Structure 1
Amino acid sequence: MDETAEPLPLGGLLRALRRRADLSQRQLAERAGVPQATLARIESGRAADPHFRTVERLVRAAGGRLVIGAPDAHGPDGLPDGPVAVPGVPHDGLRDEAGRRYPAHLDAWEVHDPKDWPGAWWAQWWKLPPERFPRPVPAATYELSRRHRDQRRWADRIRREVAVRRATEGGLPGTCWRFVAELPDGRLLGELRAHERDPRLLYGDLIDAGEREVVLDGVLVAGACRRLGIGRRLVEELTAEMGRAGIRVAHAVADFEGVELLNACGYRIEGRGHYAMRLDRSWLGPALSGPVPLQP
C-alpha cells in the first residue's frame, strides 16, 4: 500500500476505477447490472449509504477487487489482500459551464487559447482575432476518441518513465560522447553521439592550448516516440555534460526538423552552405559498389 496516497471517498474511487478501465458511467452500470442513476448518485456523493453488494458489483465490473483483511496480507494468487492505492482522476477539479464534472474515463484539460481546443485547432481559429471566433472558447475540453486517448496516455507514460544518461560502456574513446534515452526495462528509445575536437586544427595559434569543442554527430529517436521531448532531453544532457567538462562551444550540421530541435536548445544558424550529405555505394556502379580486391 502507498502510505503517502490520500484515501479517496467511494465516489472518487469509482471514478478512478472507471478511468483506469476507460469506461463511461453507462458502460460500467451495464457491466455491473446496476442502474446508471444509482452509480451517478454514488459518484456524486448523494448516495449516503449504498449497499455493499452494489459497491462490490461496481468495483468488480471496473476490474478492481474489494478486499477486507490485514493490509500486509497476500492471497494465494499473489495479489495483495489489503487496500491498494488507485490514482485519482487528474481532471476532477474541472467543471463544465453547468458546474458538472467531466467524464472520469476521458482526458480533460483547460483551454488557454484556441490551439488547446480540438474543435478550433483543426478549423484554424487561432489565425483569427478573438472577436471573430465563431463561438466562445470553453474553459476546458476533453478527448472523445479512444484511440487518441490511448495515444495520449501512452505518450505521457513514456515521458514519465524515460531516463537519459551518458553511456560509458562499450570501450568508447574518452573523446567520444554517447547519450542514451531508455525505459526502466532497458529498451532504447533515443541516442545522441558527439565527439571532442581541438579548435586549433581550424584556427591555429589564435586559440589557447587546451581549449576544446564538441561536434554533435547526430540525434536519433525511435519513430513512434518522436515529438515527445526525448531528442531535446538528449541535447540538454549533452549541454549539461559540456558544462561539467568545462567545454563552452558545440557545433552541429542539421536540416529540417533537426534545425527546429537545435534552435529550441539554444543553437543558432551561423552561415550558409551546410548540406546534409549521403552516400549510397549502389550509385557508383558495379565497378565501385562491389568489394575492393586486395592487392598482392
Structure 2
Amino acid sequence: MAETSSVAVPFDQPTRNGDGPIEIGAVLRALRRRADLSQRELAARAGVPKSTVARIEAGDAVDPRLGTVERLVRAAGGRVTIGLPGDRSGDGREPEVVPVPWVPHDGMRDEAGRRYPAHLDVWEVHDPRDWPGAWWAEWWKLPPERWPRRMPAATYELKRQYRDRRRWGERIRREVTVRRVTDGGLPGTCWRFVAELPDGRLLGELRAHERNPRLLYGDMIDTGEREVVLDGVLVAGACRRLGIGRRLVEAMTGEMDRAGVRVAHAVADFGGVDLLLSCGYRIEGRGHYALRLDLSRLSPAPL
C-alpha cells in the first residue's frame, strides 16, 4: 500500500467534524474499504476474531480495548496517534496532532522507591536554595553541619499557584528574545536593547550611551577611544528574577565586544549592584556619586 492513514485520538476527543466523540466503527470501516479488505481478512491480519471486528463496526462493542483497536488499524494500513491538538494553520484546516511530552521527572523516585505525582513539578535538591522547606529559615547562611535536618534528594510544590508561577516563568524564559534597537531615529551613540515576547510584548529594556573619555576630561584631540555608560535596566515587575536583566546586560556586553569597546561604566543600588557584579562588573571608588534631587525638601523661593 502506497500511503498510510492515521487515526488521531487527541485527549479532548475531537471527531471528524468536531461535534462529538470519535466513531471508531466508522473510522475502521473507512480504513477497511480503503485497504480493500473484508471483515474476515482484516480480522485474520490483526489476529482477532471476526466477530470482534463486526461488533466494533456495528457500535455494539462498548469501549473496545485500545490495544485491539490499534492492531486492527495497523492491519488496515493506518496508525493510531495519541497526542495534543497543535496550532491551527492559516488556511483553516483542523489542527495537527502533536506528541504528548513525557513527565520530565518520571525517572525519579522518592526514598521508598515510588514515583512522584505526575501533575507536580519535581526537581533535584543540591543545596538549601533548591528546597522550599529551607527558605523560611535561610539555611544557606549556615554551614552544612548546622542544618536542622537532612535535605531530601528531590522536592516539589504542592500549592497550585506556586506551580503555575514556576511554569509561567519557565515559559517566559523559553520565549523571550533580546535584540538591539537600531531604528526609530536613535543617534549612533545611543544603545537600546529590548526583551520581548514573540507577540511583541515588551518585558524589559536597557539603555546606554557612548562617550569619548579624552574629550570628557578636556583633551582637544579625539583619538577615537570609546566607552559605554549604562543608563539603566528596566524589567517588568512580574518578570523579575527570571534572568531577563542579565540577558540584557550580556547582550550589551556582546555588542561592546563586536564594536571594540572595552570599558563600560554604571551606577547602581540595591539589586542592581548584584546584577552587574554577576555580569562581571567591579565596584570602583573613583569619582562615582549617586545623586538625588527631592523637590519637596527644597525651601520655597523668597518673594
Residue 206 of structure 2 corresponds to residue 187 of structure 1: no
Residue of structure 2 in register with 1:120 after alignment: 134
Tell me if the contact between 1:255 and 1:275 (Cα under 8 Å) persists in the aligned partners: no
Tell me if the contact between 2:215 and 2:222 (Cα under 8 Å) persists in the aligned partners: no
Residue of structure 2 in register with 1:146 after alignment: 160
Residue of structure 1 in register with 2:183 after alignment: 169
Residue 103 of structure 2 corresponds to residue 89 of structure 1: yes
Unaligned stretches of 5+ in structure 2?
1-9, 13-61, 67-79
Residue of structure 2 in register with 1:214 after alignment: 228
**Alignment match of 2:151 (pick from 115, 131, 137):** 137
Unaligned stretches of 5+ in structure 1?
1-12, 18-50, 56-65, 289-296
Residue of structure 1 in register with 2:262 after alignment: 248
Residue of structure 2 in register with 1:111 after alignment: 125
- In structure 2, relative to structure 1, the CA distance for the partners of 1:144 and 1:86 (3 Å cut) is same
Query: Is the radius of gyration larger for structure 1 or structure 2?
Result: 2
Q: Identify the range of structure 1 (82-91 vs 250-259) with the bigger mean alpha-carbon deviation.
A: 82-91
Residue 269 of structure 2 corresponds to residue 262 of structure 1: no
Partners of 1:152 and 1:103 in 2: CA distance: 17
Residue of structure 2 in register with 1:21 after alignment: none
Residue of structure 2 in register with 1:7 after alignment: none
Partners of 1:229 and 1:268 in 2: CA distance: 20
Partners of 1:269 and 1:133 in 2: CA distance: 33
Residue of structure 2 in register with 1:46 after alignment: none
The one-letter code sitting in structure 2 at the alignment partner of 1:190 is: G
Cα offset, 1:180, TM superposition: 0.3
Partners of 1:260 and 1:242 in 2: CA distance: 21
Residue 249 of structure 2 corresponds to residue 235 of structure 1: yes
**Alignment match of 2:169 (pick from 133, 137, 155):** 155
Q: Tell me the TM-score normalised to structure 1 length.
A: 0.67
Partners of 1:211 and 1:141 in 2: CA distance: 52
Tell me if the contact between 1:197 and 1:214 (Cα under 8 Å) persists in the aligned partners: yes
Partners of 1:174 and 1:282 in 2: CA distance: 37
For 1:33-84, what per-residue CA distance to the aligned partner results, in whole angstroms no more than 9, with x for missing partners? xxxxxxxxxxxxxxxxxx95687xxxxxxxxxx978xx99x9xx9543x642
Residue of structure 1 in register with 2:21 after alignment: none
